[in-house]
Structure 1
Amino acid sequence: MKCDASFVFSDAMLGYHFNADHPFNQKRVVLAKELLAAANTLDESQIIAPKKATEDELALFHDRAYIQAIKKAGEGLLQDDGGLEYGIGTEDTPIFQNMHDASSYLVGGTLTAVDAVLSGKVSHALNLGGGLHHGFKRRAAGFCIYNDAAVAIKYIREKYNLKVLYVDTDAHHGDGVQWAFYEDPNVCTLSIHETGRYLFPGTGNINERGIKDGHGYAFNLPIDAFTEDDSFLQVYEAAFKEIAEYFQPDIIITQNGADAHCYDPLTHLCATMAIYEKIPALAHELSHTYCNGKWIALGGGGYDSWRVVPRAWAQIWNVMTTGKHKLGDIPEDWLSKWQMESPVSLPATWQDDKNIVPTIPRKKDITEKNYKVLQSALKYTKHRHT
């Protein structure tokens, strides 16, 4: 099945850059985009530039005092340790120049995707710069300043009055989006993630089900460390199908963090590229079953930036545009261009070797710096319904 789709991208999205050593970087978006171009599956005519979200749009979810603090921080005007109140200036979410503008383009990218789909221009849209699901109403956390998904869902509810199903397969719990709609029966959230017993942000228990009118519209499926493909996919497929049938959404938004892979240095799950073929395929299928194809996909986490994330994210687009994931060899010109810069050997095929978890323990890949980033994130993240 072929469907029209839009790919949101411009160089303005690349300004979201903490520092050279930070694990969250926009190089992943560039690598995925160029991989698709090299595979002849992304045409320039399908690319749309993100708008910059306005302050009024950001304030659909974020507190205006918080927005002003982010603006001041990015201009070097925030006083002393004022950023700690808002979760910035930490090791996980450091202050950087023009951070408000850079973050606003990522949010604007998701709003651009929403309007492209809901105006009827396309059936699907992909914003790999989005998926910043740890942002809270007045606090940054876990590499996320503004929460583009939460803003976009508020925007959909206000402008289009549609029921939204949000599905999050990042290895980290989609806490910011869940708490934003914890009382709202018109927004259903599903998060499949590594249990918070071992991993930031420490939330996402099965008993987090929503409150008041929103009770019964939040779903969490925490999975244990070292979970592999079959178990992950069994949970994902069963839950997504049942919840979609129960909720009957008007539009589906997926957050597609690629950090459940066994190579990822910040998590403990042991999936392979096999799950990143099935994850978008089911979202594509269910969007056509329940929503006349209305599906918006976002990026998110994923910290093996060279081997895993470009292939995983490119498969979302492959499914969006053809209904199928890509198989076979990675284009030689893409490999040649990026191998010199990559710190690891790039895979020659779209799949992992036989899609089998490597025998070398992946935990050895966890660096002291990444460990400190995680500890800092845990220290500064307070789990409130804000």
Structure 2
Amino acid sequence: MGRVALVWDERAAGYDLGPGHPLAPVRVELTVDLIRRIGLLGGGVDEVLPRALDEVELLRHHREDFIDTVKRLSWDPTARAEERYGLGPGDTPAFEGMHPASLLICAASVEAARQVWEGEADHAFNPAGGLHHAMPDRAAGFCIYNDPAIAIDWLLEHGAERVTYVDVDVHHGDGVELMFADDPRVLTISLHESGRFLFPGTGRADDIGGTKAPGSAANVPLHPGTPGSVWLGAFDAVVEPLIRAFDADVLVTQLGCDTHASDPLAHLALTTDDMAAIYDRLHRLAHETTDGRWVALGGGGYQLVRVVPRAWTLAFAEMAGRGVPVETPMGWREMAVQRTGDVPPTAFLEDPVQLSEAMRAQAEQEARASVTALRELLLPLHGVR
């Protein structure tokens, strides 16, 4: 196992959309603390500070008037709401310091990409990243700047010929897909709860890329109640062969863990055990298809204490090739209660969710439909029969 990097700067906790907002920075702080407490760092597994990022990098994917608006509201969030830029009451309110905090998250994702591309690390993880809904001209879905797209663009600018992006968040990775829909060098893959039931309402199975790059996008919409076994079956059926066929130089993943059965904003039925199986697959595919070059980013996840820290610690442990203890440390649990009032689970892993036969049958039917559509419409474009 080569070197592994955890890219983290305490100032990233400044990305704070306000009291009571689902995307609370404490979830990432608790993750980093848990990683430290169980001894995953050391011996070639290092915590790394991101280098500063020139604002010009934002202009590769965001309009200048949008960036200027973010800056203005960053210094005075009480100014008139700019709803045409997605900033105002609702999902993505303006907050003091949002421009430097958002730029720092982009810097951390670019640093993760740089660590991997320049050979300083085989794998790198930015748990504060993965803000995949941000659009060129507006914020959306809690996301201001699209750090996955900016990191991918950095890789392309520095010599990567192909990048595979796999998004396992419960919400469709719409912003990243849009930004690369007409770029044949990037394959975006998103497995998510169907847009018929969940924000952002996009990501149908027949959405397979832009007119200039047909086949550049793969979408696997899933029915509410989909358990881990069905999710993993869809991944094995179409995502793995696509990753192998595209034969990229780097694997970039968004590891949103809001697919968990207890997530308050969505309706899938995965467990941390299922997530560990996902990370195992991604790790194996990185070594088998991209010479181990794996850049991982955080994403959604709104069980701030009970799920996110365990899920992303499992992801980082997989990247580091190290195990986790059966139980989370008592000191960490006590600290989490002190900070949030919520009690985290003792065990890292969980038993499967029990579903009714009808719900399981519906989930299996929708997954089969998505897999069939991709086999007919997309896989042949990549030479997969």
Structure-2-length-normalised TM-score: 0.88
Paired AA for residue 159 in structure 1: H
> Is contact 1:85–1:139 with CA below 8 Å preserved after alignment?
yes
Q: Which residue of 2 aligns with 1:334?
A: 332
User: What amino acid is aligned across from residue 260 of structure 2 in structure 1?
Assistant: H
- Structure 1 residue 332 displacement after superposition: 2.0
Residue 211 (structure 1) shift: 2.1
1:273 aligns with 2:276: no
Q: Decide whether the 8 Å contact of 1:3 with 1:320 is kept in 2.
A: no
Alpha-carbon offset, residue 341 of structure 1: 3.6
Distance in 1 between the 2:325 and 2:204 partners? 36
| Per-residue CA distance 1:265-323 (angstroms, 9 max, x = gap) | 0001111112210111111111111111100000000000111110000011101111x
Q: Which runs of 5+ in 1 are unaligned?
A: 360-386
Percentage of matched positions with identical amino acids: 35
1:80: how far off?
2.9
Aligned to 1:60: 60
Q: Which amino acid aligns with 2:347?
A: T
> Partners in 2 of 1:183 and 1:84 — Cα distance?
27
1:97 correspondence with 2:108: no
2:51: which partner in 1?
51
Q: Which residue of 1 aligns with 2:347?
A: 349
In the alignment, is the contact (CA less than 8 A) between 1:136 and 1:147 conserved in 2?
Answer: yes
Which residue of structure 2 lines up, in the alignment, with residue 156 of structure 1?
A: 155
Shift of 1:74: 0.7
Deviations 1:20-76 (CA, angstroms, capped at 9, x unpaired): 110001111111111111111124970111234321111111111111110011111
State the distance in 1 between where 2:190 and 2:132 align. 11
Cα gap change, 1:287 to 1:79, in 2 (>3 Å): same
Q: Distance in 1 between matches of 2:151 and 2:189?
A: 17
Name 1:135's counterpart in structure 2. 134
In 2, are the aligned partners of 1:51 and 1:108 still within 8 Å (CA)? yes
Structure 1 Cα separation of the partners of residues 38 and 87 of structure 2: 39
Write the distance in 1 (CA, Å) between the matches of 2:77 and 2:347: 48
Q: 1:325 to 1:234 in 2, by over 3 A?
A: farther
Question: Which amino acid letter does the alignment assign opposite residue 346 of structure 1?
Answer: P
Counterpart secondary structure, 1:165: strand
- Tell me if the contact between 1:130 and 1:149 (Cα under 8 Å) persists in the aligned partners: yes
Whether the 8 Å contact between 1:259 and 1:267 is mirrored in structure 2 is yes
Deviates more, 1:296-305 or 1:270-279: 270-279
The letter of the residue matching 2:210 is I
Once the two structures are overlaid, the 10-residue window that deviates more, 328-337 or 196-205, is 328-337
1:171, 1:257 within 8 Å by CA — same for their partners in 2? yes
AA in 2 matched with 1:312: A
Do the aligned residues in 2 keep the contact of 1:8 with 1:48 (CA within 8 Å)? Answer: yes
Q: Which residue of 2 aligns with 1:74?
A: 74
Q: Which amino acid aligns with 1:68?
A: D
Matches within 5 A, 1:1-386: 2-43=1-42, 46-76=46-76, 80-81=80-81, 83-322=82-321, 326=324, 328-352=326-350, 354-357=351-354
Query: Helix, strand or coil: the match of 1:305?
Result: coil
SS at match of 1:274: helix
**Which portions of structure 1, spanning 4 or more consecutive aligned residues, are displaced by more than 4 angstroms?**
none
Partner of 2:371: none
AA aligned to 1:71 is K
Aligned counterparts of 2:171 and 2:214: Cα–Cα separation in 1: 22
* 2:261/2:353 contact within 8 Å kept: no
CA distance in 1, matches of 2:332, 2:96: 31
Secondary structure of the equivalent of 1:243? helix
With over 3 angstroms needed to count, the CA separation of the structure-2 counterparts of 1:157 and 1:263, relative to structure 1, is: same
